Amino acid sequence: MNKNRTVQLIKNKDGYGITFNAMASPCEVIIQSMDKPLVTQLADLITNEVWRIEDKYSRYNKLSVCSAINNNAGRSVSIDQETYLLLNFAEQCYQLSDGLFDISSGVLRKVWSFKGDKNETDNFPTVKKINAMLCRVGWRKIHFDQTQIILAKGMEIDFGGIGKEYAVDRAIQVAKQLTQSPVLVNLGGDLAVTSCRLNNEPWQVAIEHPDSNSDSYDNTSTDMIVSLKTGALATSGDARRYLIKDGKRYSHILNAKTGWPINDAPRSITVVAPQCIQAGILATLGLLQGNHAEEFLTEQEIQYWARR
Amino acid sequence: MKKHFKVGFFIPLILSVTGCANLGVEPWERDLLAQDEMSLNASPVDTALDDHIYFSKEASSGGKGFGGGGCGCN
Amino acid sequence: MKNKLEKINVKAVLTIATAALLSTSNPVLANSTKVDTDSSNVSEEGSWDFDSAFLFYSEVDRVSAGEVIINAQKTFANDEILNLKLTVDALTGASANGAVAQPNVQTFTRPSGNGQYTIEAGETPLDDTFHDTRVQLNGQWTQPIAPNYTASGGVHLSKEYDYLSLGINGNIAFDFDRKNSTFSAGFSYFQDTFTPEGGIPNAFSSMLIGDSSSASWDDNFSQTRIDADDTKTTTDILLGFTQVINRRMITQFNYSYSTVDGYLNDPFKVISVVNSETGLTQDNIYESRPDSRVKQSVYAQSLYHFDSSVLDVSYRYMWDDWEITSHTIDSRFRIPLGDSFGKESYLQPHFRFYQQSAAEFYQPFLIDGSALPNYASADYRIGEMTAFTVGLKYGLLVDNGHELSFRLEYYHQAPEDAGFDTPGELKDIELYPTIDAIIAQVTYSF
């Protein structure tokens, strides 16, 4: 696994930008402070924490807790408090979404392969294949408590749906503990702030248009600018991973109960909430409602933007 | 012979240490080890100054690092 | 279809669930410490980190030295590190010349041949000619050369009035098992040239005592000299193994092999030839040591992190072909004081214990009339000796997070009687005086 784990500091007019790579995404932390030793210390604490979470929960890391759990399906694997709390949170999401959000549904990627091809693809799996894989999916087949977890044989769990947002929230905690200076943490588009900027100014965040890297991008589809004073922002969407068949676009969000992509979901949903993990789950839950996404999000009385 | 025994003692110790599969930590457990004070040479300036003093006043040198030459103080 | 009440609960339930998830204290926060570039993730070109230190060393009635170090380090984009160091030290005061104390006044000639000095009765002969200033430059480059392989190479230059040392070193380290284990292998090579004032004395020739202003002095003096200068080379090999034991403990084991060849005498030291019955000095002759020395050592170090304090203990055993063996135990205990005595302050007590056995050819003096051995030296630094150091270091952060520290130590050396018979008057004289020294240091990093 080749990881580039360098951290760069960039000095701006009123603060510093800290850039690094984590969780396969470009990440940045912006702090409104000119205190270089403080900025360096913040950079170290945040990158250590983000990489710590990545090393612990990434399914791409052979040595992670996630891989240890997946490689020992059928046997009891001991877990610590942090992992227990994350599993508990995943459980709550499973219940809230009526089973549509299920972190054991990752194995379905083995029958689906989503790239950004414009061409139609023959990569649609057969119903038989999907049903066979569905036997290996199902939160109810997982048993866990405060000290251990047992997956049924053949199952895998994937923290990908909550890992990045969780890392953002942890990074914000680190920043708040270290300094009063305004800090923004952005891990690949999932971001949060510790407070508003100096002089009570909001942070200006640009949300990328879902089409911004496809050939049909034209100058009229602009990125959206969001003003954020407190809290977090997360985006769920299919900007880079989808399938097209018979002219129809299939999102990479799969219905964990049927094994099929969600029908008629918006291309992307951006949600603002007090914490990043909350925003991320609400955006994902929105997408899982398919064509009822906007209805669902409006009823929840949260701030969101959906693009179709 | 006494000299050979000392070297021989350390080599099995090293081999038995590497043989223990349960030694070591996962990457996410390095919070304490990452601190400056857990570095094997935490104050290189102090070490350099002390090594110079003891090289000048005693018959031994090195061990932690190179002990060779360097100055006319011995 | 869910009713409206159930739908609104999604946000509320999530709020509670999120609070539960993020409520636990973060281990990273509890252990936040000052960061410097040695362990920082931040790699930024164009930024130098400096350590500057001043050390004062002073023995009671003997040598005093001041040493200044300035170390600069810069990390480049791909984890490449350049380290430059400048050291300047100045020495003054008196050192033992190897001759034995006597119940009468003694006169010795200065190493340069220009002038004499006298020693009181009963006093250990000390030569106070030494004031020397030395400048040393080091450069070291370290970089990863493949995943898990790091290489390092460096150069060394040291110049003082009568001594030049040039050296190079190289080292490769290999990490494995999640970087819990590291093997390293390194070598160093030094070439030193000694040009003592007055030239290299003829080993075992008598120290010329007389009037250095007399006409025949220069001729007579130069007959006791064989050369203006001489050289020595030092080659070291170092093998190391580092192992993380658990979250709180890391250990290191090293083996080193060192061979020194060339001129190994101390041209300023003599050994007294005394009468077998009275113990009175008949002659002082220049010492003679072998022209090679092979040293080996094994070293083990362990660091253990308690809740907030850290214990660092190491042991070294050295043995060589001069039959010197030594034990060194060094320990430091770092106690963080929080912010109550200065920002992120700490205290670090230090204790070091050292013991060595005498070189095979070490003798405090020679007996007149006995056959001259192949080699002999009365330099107490290769005699039997026990020494200990106790010290305390205090550090804190000042200004913009820069570290300032103070260190005060007491070093006590006790040369020991290696079992030589003391004839005549020597029985009433202190032949193995102890040496006490104070070490004081200030360091500032910025």
* C183 lies in some domain: yes
Tens-place pLDDT, residues A8-34: 888 887 888 998 889 888 899 999 988
Are B28 and A48 inside 8 Å of each other by CB?
no
Chains with at least 3 CB pairs less than 8 angstroms from chain A: B, C
Number of B:C CB contacts under 8 A? 210
Domain count, chain C: 1
Within 8 A of C4 by CB-CB distance, chain A residues are 299
Contact A63 B27 (CB under 8 A): yes
Query: Can you give the pLDDT at residue B31?
Result: 73
Q: What is the DSSP letter of A12?
A: -
* pLDDT number for residue A35: 84
What's C256's domain CATH number? Answer: 2.40.160.40
ipTM of the complex: 0.86
Is residue A135 included in any domain, yes or no?
no
Which of C:398-417 have CB within 8 Å of A? 400-402
**A63/B26 CB distance under 8 A:** yes
Beta strands in C116-269 (DSSP E): 116-119, 126-127, 132-146, 149-160, 163-176, 181-194, 200-201, 225-227, 230-246, 249-262
Residue A285 lies in a domain: no
Question: Between these two residues, A146 and C215, which has the higher pLDDT value?
Answer: A146
- Give the pLDDT score at C216: 81
CB contact under 8 A, A53 and B34: no
Structure tokens at C230: 């001489």
Confidence of residue A260 (pLDDT cuts 50, 70, 90): confident
Dihedral sign, Cα of residue A116, residue A120, residue A122, residue A124: positive
- Sort out which chain C residues have CB atoms less than 8 A from A234's CB and list them: none
**CA dihedral sign, ordered B22, B27, B32, B36:** positive
Chain A positions with Cβ closer than 8 Å to B: 48, 51-53, 55-56, 63
CB-based contact (8 Å) between C143 and chain A? no
Whether residue C172 is contained in a domain is answered as yes
In a domain, C1, yes or no: no
Residue A10 half-sphere exposure toward CB, CA atoms < 13 A: 8
A15 contacts A34 by C-beta, under 8 angstroms: yes
Instruction: For an interface test with C, give the residue of A96, A271, A302 to mutate (most C CBs within 10 A).
Output: A96
Average pLDDT (A176-195) is: 92
A266 assigned to some structural domain = no
Give the per-residue pLDDT at C43.
59
Q: Does C79 touch chain A (CB under 8 A)?
A: yes
Question: What is the structure's pLDDT at C67?
Answer: 95
pLDDT at A212: 56
- What is residue A222's predicted lDDT score, i.e. its pLDDT? 62
3-state helix, strand, coil in chain A (%, to 5): 35, 25, 40
Question: Measured between CA atoms, how close is B24 to chain A, in angstroms?
Answer: 13
C397 in contact with chain B, both atoms CB, cutoff 8 A = no
Q: How far is C342 from chain B (nearest CA, A)?
A: 18
Q: How many CA atoms lie within 13 A of A301 on its CB side?
A: 8
* Mutation for testing the A interface, residue in B22, B28, B32, B36 having most A CBs under 10 Å: B28
The alpha carbon of A148 is separated from its chain's Cα centroid by a whole number of angstroms, namely: 25
A29-61 pLDDT tens trace: 999 988 888 898 899 999 999 999 999 999 888
Residue C51: which of B2, B23, B45 has the nearest Cβ?
B45
Global model pTM greater than 0.90 = no
Size of interface A-B (CB pairs under 8 A): 15
Structural domain of residue A173, as residue ranges? 1-58+160-195
Q: What is the pLDDT of residue C53?
A: 97
Residue A233 lies in a domain: no
Residue C295 within a domain: yes
pLDDT at A115: 57
Note the pLDDT tens digit of each residue in A54-96: 999 998 888 899 999 999 988 999 999 999 999 999 999 998 8
Identify which has the larger pLDDT, A142 or B9: A142
Q: Given CB atoms, is C29 within the 8 Å cutoff of chain B?
A: no
pLDDT at C319: 97
* Residue A177 within any structural domain of the chain: yes
- Would A9 be classed as within a structural domain? yes
pLDDT for residue C246 = 93
pLDDT tens sequence across B8-49 = 445 545 555 555 567 888 766 777 887 888 999 989 999 999
- Give me the domain span that covers residue C285: 49-445
Residue A215: the pLDDT is 45
List b or e across A150-173, with b for residues whose CB sees 16 or more CB atoms inside 10 angstroms. Answer: bbbeebbbbbbbbbbbbbbbbbbb
**CB contact C340 to A (< 8 Å):** no
Contact A80, A56 (CB under 8 A): no
**Cβ <8 Å between B26 and A55:** yes
pLDDT of residue C210: 77
Residue A186 has pLDDT above 80, yes or no: yes
Tell me the chain A residues in contact with residue B31 when contact means C-beta distances shorter than 8 Å.
48, 52
- Confirm or reject contact between C39 and chain B (CB < 8 A): yes
Contact C179/A at CB under 8 A: no
Residues of chain C positioned with their CB less than 8 A from the CB of B34: 39
Ordered mean pLDDT values, 10 residues apiece, chain C (446 residues): 56 88 64 47 69 96 94 83 94 91 90 86 87 92 91 95 94 91 96 90 86 80 85 95 94 96 92 91 92 96 95 97 97 92 92 97 93 94 97 90 93 92 88 95 94
3-state DSSP assignment of residue A30: strand
The secondary structure of C251-297, three-state, reads: EEEEEEEEEEEECCCCCCCEEEEECCCCCCEEEEEECECCCEEEEEE
- The answer on pLDDT for A136 being more than 60 is yes
Is A166 inside any structural domain? Answer: yes
Query: Does A139 have pLDDT greater than 60?
Result: yes
Is C33 domain-assigned?
Answer: no
Number of domains in chain A: 1
Smallest CA–CA distance from B34 into chain A, residue: A48
Contact state of C89 with B32 under an 8 Å Cβ cutoff: no
